[in-house]
Structure 1
Amino acid sequence: MTDKKKKLLLIDGNSVAFRAFFAMYQQLDKFKNPEGLHTNAIFAFKNMLDVVLKQEEPSHILVAFDAGKVTFRTKMYGEYKGGRDKTPAELSEQLPYIKEMLQDMGIATYELPDYEADDIIGTMAKRGADDGFDVAVVTGDRDLTQLASEHVTVYVTKSGVTKLEAYTPEHMQEVNGVTPTEFIDMKALMGDASDNYPGVTKVGPKTASRLIQKYHTVENLYEHVDEMKKSKLKENLLNDKDKALLGKKLAAIKCDSPVSLTMEQVAYQGASVADLRRFYEKMNFRRFLSDMAENGDFAGKEAEGKQLDFVKLEKAAVASLPEAKEIGFYLEIFGENYHLAPFAGFALKIGQQIWVSRDVDLLKEKRLRGFLENKTIVKNVFDLKRTTYGLHRLGIEAQGIGYDMLLASYLVDNENNSNDLGEVVHQYGDYDVKSDLDVYGKGKAAAIPDDDAVFFNHLAGKVAAIDQLKASLLKQLKDHEQDDLFDAIEIPTARVLAKMELNGIKVEAKTLQALQKEYGDRLKELESKIYQEAGEEFNLNSPKQLGVILFEKLGLPVIKKTKTGYSTSVEVLNQLKDKSPVVSDILAYRQIAKIQSTYVNGLLDVIDPADGKIHTRYLQTLTATGRLSSVDPNLQNIPTRTEEGKQIRKAFVPSTPDGYIFSCDYSQVELRVLAHVSGDANMQEAFKTGYDIHAHTAMKIFHLSKIDEVTPLERRRAKAVNFGIVYGISDYGLSKNLGISRKQAKSFIESYFDQYPGIQAYMDQAVKEAREKGYAETIMHRRRYLPDIHAKNFNVRSFAERTAINSPIQGSAADIMKIAMINMQKKLDELGLKTKMVVQVHDELIFDVPKEELETIKQIVPEVMQKAVSLDVPLLADSGWGHNWYDAK
């Protein structure tokens, strides 16, 4: 590296970390690693580094940190920085990890007892400039701008940490009217509230700047102070001379601190790829991992991992594979959507021997097919559902899969639920198995390595890890009383879901195409009407143009502004719809446009031409509550609140011309679970006697004597309270939902707890137990870990407390549905019925029923669902049927 490129980057670690923490404070809850460590400051700090490294391209870097609160300045003035609030615990816990990240990035860090980070930076900046370096300083504190010079540029963070304002001597003159050196004297006169030292009474920035522009230094000012005319300012200057002189000593950064570093020690050598990759995994920074792969930083590098003993399986050797009662098996499908993604290979483990191959057709050979289809041979896999579906595509009907590493890991810690085997293994401290991101890369650049040694070792590592972690994971499940949850609920659910995904549901393209035309015509009509009401044409999909029309041309009241102009969100438009007809039309346009693009067009794109069906994928390990999710496409999210949305369901039809779609859903299952876990007598009475629970609640909170006195409005409000309580709603949230005052909302909530005292007792007990145990638990022992239950920050702790209350309810409802699905599939199999379970939507099950089986299904489905578990209140399932999903509801 030539001298021309010598650049020293100095970063004020504490101040930038502080800015980083508060720049992403609103996302504090979202940024946590699997162990519950807050990571928002670490994440934002890394974003800042990316910007600065790209901008400055330094040859040398140092990040300086404060060594402690006691420095030569506190010895000089005991109150120095004494007024500052204590550093938030959520930030303090991140500082060691910021230093660890810097180390992994190859960036030197340094702290010096009795001195501040500012003094380290000042000293290194002077040395660098003297040695011919260009120096860049990054800080969140304007105090460091005094270091600006011909060779030193000081960047101060603003609007977070990635936007930087450059302070040069010229800019200092523009901003403060003084030179960087004179800025020290200016601060001496005005004092610093943040650092808690006084200046001269009633001397602010403007007066201080004016005085220093004239006298240049504090000392020179006092040499000429007697020449000033008598004034209050002169009087204050004379009275506070000692404060001003002390302030200068406190404000001045020491550029001759005893820093022991040499320039060679802060030379930037670049990151340790392996260490940084492990750090990102530990922090759950998937975006940074993705960036590394996209940039080619580690894709394919060090991908071999621990070298394992394995045999490449040849066709001739398949027949001579040894006998086995238990095998490890891993099928590599190269892509997220295993319904369609190509096969890449497989690995088989019998005893201590591992075989690998790229040729999945070998699995069709008699010996291997016999292993996979034999119920008595136990198969240990990573993902039962994915494996079952993949083998089915090869014409192999998997049997005997008894262990699923993904599900076991998910139950042990459902906050850390990666679908990448390598990442799962890393959670348990084993880095021998590389993640798929390591080996294959990401996006368009992703590819299976051509090198057999790399690829086969990766497959061998995966199948070995399944076997190696099995005992440990099963022990943890047993210790947590979750072995029954794993064996009797999650594993059988995975089998049922695989069958449902294979079944699919028939969808009539012609129905969707008719809706496509109808909604297209409606959109054109609405567009013309809106243009007429607005008096001009504009881009309806541009919030900026829409804002100009509504708030400038039509003069509607401005509800909310954004950084780019007027807010035209749905919330804002709903407040304005009575002010002008154009607003209602815009809301209607948006609603239909979304249904058209997301559902009508979206569903048409994913109908399988081979069977005319849609085969969604269910995600079993996505949510912390245990609820299932649907993707590719999401059939759980089809709108039901509007008629346009409901019409979509007309396209979902039975697979036989005269068959039926049968729907059965639980009635108020979460409230029934709440009645059970709380033991509240009044709520249990309502369910046991068959009352309408919302009308019953209305009768209680509105102090009515009879249930038939409840008005529709009172029932609607009681319903909002019932479901709001489950999710920990506040009086503010309820007031927004119902359009009432907070006082009235608070009254409703208080009345609710007066009438259902057991609910309040349950909530208090749930929080108490979560504090003692560190987790909340469903009636089936599904755990939700709550590391923030003891957080000092009120908002963070409150969220954890609400989660402690609602997770057992939501999670228990999810468990009940899974049990119902398992029992339902067993019943269909026992009776030898042709009816197929085809869709699950939260509390609802959808069946494809032949005409001749309808009467049987009408009887057995509600019966099986209602008997799924025994609660202190009855479960109730409502059913309907028709020649499409719309009619079944």
Structure 2
Amino acid sequence: MPGPLILIDGFSLVFRAYHALSRTGMQSPAGEPTFAVFAFANILTSLLDKHKPDAIAVVFDTKEPTFRHVMYPEYKAHRDAFPDDLVPQIGRIKELIRLMGLEQVEMPGFEADDIIGTIAARESQDGHEILCVTSDKDYFQLVTDKVKILRPGKDVGEYEVYDAVKVKEKFGVGPEHVIDALALIGDTSDNVPGVKGVGEKTALPLVVQYGSVEGIYEHLDEIDKASLKKKLEENRDNAFLSKTLVTIHTDVPVDAKRVALVRRPMDFQAIDAFCADMGFHTLRKKFAKYAEANGVELDLPAPSLLASSNPASEISETSAPSGNLSTLDDVAHNYTLVDTEGGLQDLLKALAGRTLVSVDLETTGLDAMMCAIVGVAICVDEGTAWYIDVNDPSDRTETPMFGDHSEQHGLPVQMVIDALRPMLQDPHVGKLGQNLKYDALVLRRHDVVLSPIEMDTMLASYVLDPDKQHNLDALAERWLHYRPISITSLIGEKKSEQRSMRDVDPSVVTAYAGEDADVAFKLGALMRPELEREGLWDLARNLEFPVEEVLVTMEFNGICVDTSALANLSEFTRSEAARLEKEIWHEAGEQFTISSPKQLGEVLFERMMLPAGKKTKTGFSTDSSVLTELALTFPIAQMVLDYRQVEKLRSTYVEALPKMINPRTGRLHTTFNQTVAATGRLSSTSPNLQNIPVRTELGQQIRKAFVPQRKDHVIVSADYSQIELRIMASICKDPNLINAFASGEDVHKATAATLFDTPLAEVTSDQRRIAKTVNFGIMYGQGAFGLAQTLGLSRTESQQIIANYFEKYPGIKKYIDDTIATTRDRGYATTLLGRRRYFPLINGNNRGLQAAAERAAINSPIQGTAADMMKVAMINVHRRMQEERVQSIMMLQVHDELLFEVPTNELDVMIDLARTEMVNAFPLEGVPIVVDVGHGASWYEAH
């Protein structure tokens, strides 16, 4: 019996493939994105293996408009452009289709739906079985006894088969009513209007009762519900238009017949070369088996040579899902619930002599400084874990994030803490886990210092490739081909209705928490060898893991804010916003909602007729870049910028900070993020203290509210001076720049003197401003266009300034050229400590994306080295503070600055300690490091 004819909706599956593995960030050895190609290849091979089709065609849309666009210009008008990292993969996908001997069909002016509909209708009349592969529900209208739809499931290679019965079961009507139902419902993704206000619940019964859109309007008077009747009357034209738009045509003049779609022999040699280029090692072996079955022998390298030097290629590919992911039901495991004192003692005996322990806490919320412990999971061998059910009294003294607590169970928290403390603090027992900073902070509140951190899988993933996702689910999928239990299966999907983990049966939590500890243990066993192979283990072990322990202490310490000062500032910002609002209204000649981009755009660009910039989907852009340019000529634009700044600072800091004060400590406890910025920089959230302006009056007033909590204490600020410029000077070894720093001169003034060939004493403030802009702009990869915009010069003038700059500082030009060339060759840039950041698009075909990658690659070694230097300094300062047994505390790290709360009798000691450790953290060749240290009654005074 002949196999079926498979018709594939090309772009439907391309996007399915893209989203299935986008978070893996797979790349070829050359740094080319490959995850969509890999997923698409697995989809094709699974279809061939399972359905064994005689004929197959992959049908693609083209760029040319179709009759639907002519009829309704808004059709698909709101669809986003292809993702930047998908564009280069489409050509690769089409290349693989050709090499696999599969037919590609495209017809300018016709959509894939209509081409597939025509082929399916024609070939099914001849008695052939047709399988249409797509995620588009419009295809349900094509279903007959011979035509079925294969809809992709959750996993790559997983499908649901839709026949007429399944269509009715899932969609609510049979194939014969699909067109009319879709006409009423509409489709937001394709911008098909439908009948506004009518959804599936209303549309399906109407279609079943009256048979069609035409039937509904013929019997409109029979519809009793006035509001529905009104909607149908007002949207009559849209209903009939939508029916035309959603109807798949089955009479397209396409020549492709079954005989032309019969599979051709695969070009196995070319496929093997293709897979080698892409870094698809498992697929390469899979196609080798196909080749062997067809009498073709491929000369594959030895298995050991099928390893890649690019972790973003080999690791992701070998662990990316090519079918269903494994779950807990598929793996051998032994997770034990510990809820008795005897069970706890048995666990302690099992832990005796262990040198590596995976730890995972379950809690009542996400705020480590407020939540209660629900349980502790521990794993010391793959597949074996224990879960200690904990009864924490504080569980009933706070408002939990996940609902109310009810039944009390578990061992007393103090008993558990006392039993585990020796192991958790043992310097000879390494601690392993995922995002251990959270667990360590919770434990710190119970007087436990979790140390040493031997492996944090989240940080390990970040060190290997900072641009990937680092959550446990993503890591399990990428490295273990495994899907962990979802927390929502325990506490519920909807946040407002989620219950506390405390209310989940301990036996159920045992599986969830034991699995988390077990998965982290398995990941650690894979990640360390990979870090060592890539030369990144020292960076993880000696920098990222130790600084995580420092951050635990800093988050625990927190910082004090003066709420009365903020209350006064709140009154000021509200009156200032009101003043600016009136001025803007006066300038505009009308009142409107300034915070509405749509209304603001209409006022500025339609009524005031200001020159409009870029447009968005909803109207004119009023972002800061547009307003900043307008502000040079039109006062109202500057007023709006000022208004936005005041309102942002009021809502984000002035009125938000008091609400974020911990009621137990009376302090703010920000969360530092190690895996957000790809450069290696730290960021902070809840609150974000990185974005408080330094130079504006309002920003300074906010900083005045950060004060010591204790009497006879001061705030000390230690700040690296121009550290990124100093790093650039050291890396590029340009003698002019090095000499400026070595002589202690004002580097921007010295640059201006060199650029404008002017004696240092005669440099004007405007010349210094230009030099400063050029210094920082060049460091961030800024070109002539960007510099012209920043300085308000012509492009020709800015080009001349840059050319002059490179002539006077040839070492910088050489650094830029060498960095771009090296990054293109290796696919990544590195800091002086070896931190990597991958730039796959630097070798792409899109010049805009390539230029952006080049700019980031130029800055990455500089900004990344500054981040590394700060982390080394934090580790060393923290160590010295412990050795000196000072009472001072380290509270914040913001940009290039460390902030301390210091007793006045330790002031001299801390100033010397901070400056010494920061200066000596990472000496730069040929360039002195300068740290400015200040102190005062507030952050503002200290800085």
Candidates 7, 25, 28, aligned match of 1:33:
25
Deviation at 1:473, TM superposition (A): 1.9
Unaligned stretches of 5+ residues in structure 1: 1-9, 46-61, 70-86, 100-108, 141-149, 185-250, 262-281, 284-297
Q: What secondary structure does 1:252 align onto? A: coil
Q: Is contact 1:543–1:568 with CA below 8 Å preserved after alignment?
A: yes
Deviation at 1:832, TM superposition (A): 1.5
Describe the shift of the 1:412–1:436 C-alpha distance in structure 2 as closer, same or farther (beyond 3 A). farther
1:247-326 aligned at under 5 Å gives the runs: 252-254=253-255, 257-258=258-259, 306-313=331-338, 314-320=340-346, 321-322=348-349, 323-326=352-355
Describe the shift of the 1:563–1:113 C-alpha distance in structure 2 as closer, same or farther (beyond 3 A). closer
The equivalent of 1:666 in structure 2 is 720
Q: Is contact 2:679–2:837 with CA below 8 Å preserved after alignment?
A: yes
Candidates 411, 421, 427, aligned match of 2:463:
411
Deviation at 1:128, TM superposition (A): 6.8
Q: Is contact 1:422–1:433 with CA below 8 Å preserved after alignment?
A: yes
Q: Is contact 1:129–1:151 with CA below 8 Å preserved after alignment?
A: no
Describe the shift of the 1:741–1:468 C-alpha distance in structure 2 as closer, same or farther (beyond 3 A). same
Describe the shift of the 1:798–1:565 C-alpha distance in structure 2 as closer, same or farther (beyond 3 A). closer
Q: Distance in 1 between matches of 2:852 and 2:489?
A: 35
Deviation at 1:588, TM superposition (A): 2.3
Q: Distance in 2 between matches of 1:430 and 1:31?
A: 13
Deviation at 1:396, TM superposition (A): 2.8
Residue 348 of structure 2 corresponds to residue 355 of structure 1 = no
The equivalent of 1:124 in structure 2 is 120
Q: Is contact 1:507–1:653 with CA below 8 Å preserved after alignment?
A: yes
> Can you list the C-alpha shifts for 1:795-839, whole angstroms capped at 9, x where unaligned?
333333333322111111100000111111112122211111101
Q: What secondary structure does 2:379 align onto? A: strand
1:247-646 aligned at under 5 Å gives the runs: 252-254=253-255, 257-258=258-259, 306-313=331-338, 314-320=340-346, 321-322=348-349, 323-326=352-355, 327-333=357-363, 335-350=365-380, 353-359=384-390, 362=411, 364-365=414-415, 366-418=418-470, 420-431=471-482, 433-434=484-485, 436=487, 442-444=493-495, 448=501, 450=504, 452-559=506-613, 561-577=615-631, 581-646=635-700
Q: Is contact 2:715–2:935 with CA below 8 Å preserved after alignment?
A: yes
Deviation at 1:719, TM superposition (A): 1.1
Corresponding letter in the other structure for 1:813: A
The equivalent of 2:817 in structure 1 is 764
Q: Is contact 1:346–1:360 with CA below 8 Å preserved after alignment?
A: no
Describe the shift of the 1:473–1:573 C-alpha distance in structure 2 as closer, same or farther (beyond 3 A). closer
1:7-26 aligned at under 5 Å gives the runs: 13-14=9-10
The equivalent of 1:204 in structure 2 is none
Candidates 736, 748, 752, aligned match of 1:682:
736
The equivalent of 1:861 in structure 2 is 914
TM-score between both structures, scaled by the size of structure 1: 0.71
Q: Is contact 2:748–2:771 with CA below 8 Å preserved after alignment?
A: yes
Describe the shift of the 1:788–1:548 C-alpha distance in structure 2 as closer, same or farther (beyond 3 A). closer
Q: Is contact 2:480–2:523 with CA below 8 Å preserved after alignment?
A: no
Q: Distance in 2 between matches of 1:648 and 1:181?
A: 61
1:167-316 aligned at under 5 Å gives the runs: 252-254=253-255, 257-258=258-259, 306-313=331-338, 314-316=340-342
Q: Distance in 2 between matches of 1:572 and 1:88?
A: 29
Q: Is contact 1:816–1:869 with CA below 8 Å preserved after alignment?
A: yes
Q: Is contact 1:66–1:111 with CA below 8 Å preserved after alignment?
A: no
Q: What secondary structure does 1:456 align onto? A: helix
Describe the shift of the 1:120–1:337 C-alpha distance in structure 2 as closer, same or farther (beyond 3 A). same
Describe the shift of the 1:578–1:801 C-alpha distance in structure 2 as closer, same or farther (beyond 3 A). closer
The equivalent of 1:794 in structure 2 is 847
Residue 853 of structure 2 corresponds to residue 825 of structure 1 = no
Q: What secondary structure does 2:690 align onto? A: helix
Deviation at 1:732, TM superposition (A): 0.5
Q: Distance in 1 between matches of 2:487 and 2:372?
A: 15
Q: Distance in 1 between matches of 2:937 and 2:486?
A: 47
Q: What secondary structure does 1:406 align onto? A: helix
Describe the shift of the 1:585–1:112 C-alpha distance in structure 2 as closer, same or farther (beyond 3 A). closer
Q: Is contact 1:776–1:785 with CA below 8 Å preserved after alignment?
A: yes
Q: Distance in 2 between matches of 1:11 and 1:151?
A: 23
Candidates 695, 703, 711, aligned match of 2:749:
695
Q: What secondary structure does 1:541 align onto? A: coil
Residue 799 of structure 2 corresponds to residue 746 of structure 1 = yes
Describe the shift of the 1:111–1:152 C-alpha distance in structure 2 as closer, same or farther (beyond 3 A). farther
Deviation at 1:498, TM superposition (A): 0.4
Q: Distance in 2 between matches of 1:807 and 1:331?
A: 35
Deviation at 1:688, TM superposition (A): 1.1
Candidates 185, 190, 193, aligned match of 1:162:
190
Q: Distance in 1 between matches of 2:191 and 2:36?
A: 16
- CA RMSD for the aligned pairs? 4.7
**More displaced stretch, 456-465 vs 438-447:** 438-447
Paired-residue identity, %: 34
The equivalent of 2:280 in structure 1 is none
Q: Distance in 1 between matches of 2:521 and 2:842?
A: 35
The equivalent of 2:857 in structure 1 is 804
Corresponding letter in the other structure for 1:530: I
Q: Is contact 2:358–2:380 with CA below 8 Å preserved after alignment?
A: yes
Deviation at 1:673, TM superposition (A): 1.1
Q: Distance in 2 between matches of 1:18 and 1:862?
A: 55
Deviation at 1:454, TM superposition (A): 4.2
Describe the shift of the 1:556–1:129 C-alpha distance in structure 2 as closer, same or farther (beyond 3 A). farther
Deviation at 1:886, TM superposition (A): 1.1
The equivalent of 1:90 in structure 2 is 89
Q: What secondary structure does 1:310 align onto? A: strand
Deviation at 1:655, TM superposition (A): 1.9
Q: Is contact 2:788–2:797 with CA below 8 Å preserved after alignment?
A: yes
Describe the shift of the 1:98–1:727 C-alpha distance in structure 2 as closer, same or farther (beyond 3 A). farther
Deviation at 1:841, TM superposition (A): 0.4
Q: What secondary structure does 1:330 align onto? A: strand
> Can you list the C-alpha shifts for 1:474-503, whole angstroms capped at 9, x where unaligned?
222222332322222112201111000000
> Can you list the C-alpha shifts for 1:137-183, whole angstroms capped at 9, x where unaligned?
9999xxxxxxxxx9997999x999633599x9999x999x9xx9999
Q: Is contact 1:32–1:38 with CA below 8 Å preserved after alignment?
A: no
1:42-121 aligned at under 5 Å gives the runs: 65-66=58-59, 89-93=88-92, 112=103, 120-121=116-117
Q: Is contact 1:505–1:615 with CA below 8 Å preserved after alignment?
A: yes
Deviation at 1:343, TM superposition (A): 3.3
Q: Distance in 2 between matches of 1:631 and 1:657?
A: 28
Q: What secondary structure does 1:348 align onto? A: strand
In our comparison, the structure showing a higher alpha carbon Rg is 1
Q: Distance in 1 between matches of 2:633 and 2:88?
A: 48
Deviation at 1:555, TM superposition (A): 4.8
> Can you list the C-alpha shifts for 1:576-628, whole angstroms capped at 9, x where unaligned?
44655544433322221111111111212201222221000101122221111
Q: Is contact 1:550–1:556 with CA below 8 Å preserved after alignment?
A: yes
Describe the shift of the 1:68–1:306 C-alpha distance in structure 2 as closer, same or farther (beyond 3 A). same
Deviation at 1:531, TM superposition (A): 3.3
Corresponding letter in the other structure for 1:364: Q
> Can you list the C-alpha shifts for 1:766-821, whole angstroms capped at 9, x where unaligned?
22222332222111111112333332332333333333322111111100000111
> Can you list the C-alpha shifts for 1:231-285, whole angstroms capped at 9, x where unaligned?
xxxxxxxxxxxxxxxxxxxx82248644999xxxxxxxxxxxxxxxxxxxx99xx
Q: Distance in 2 between matches of 1:429 and 1:858?
A: 48
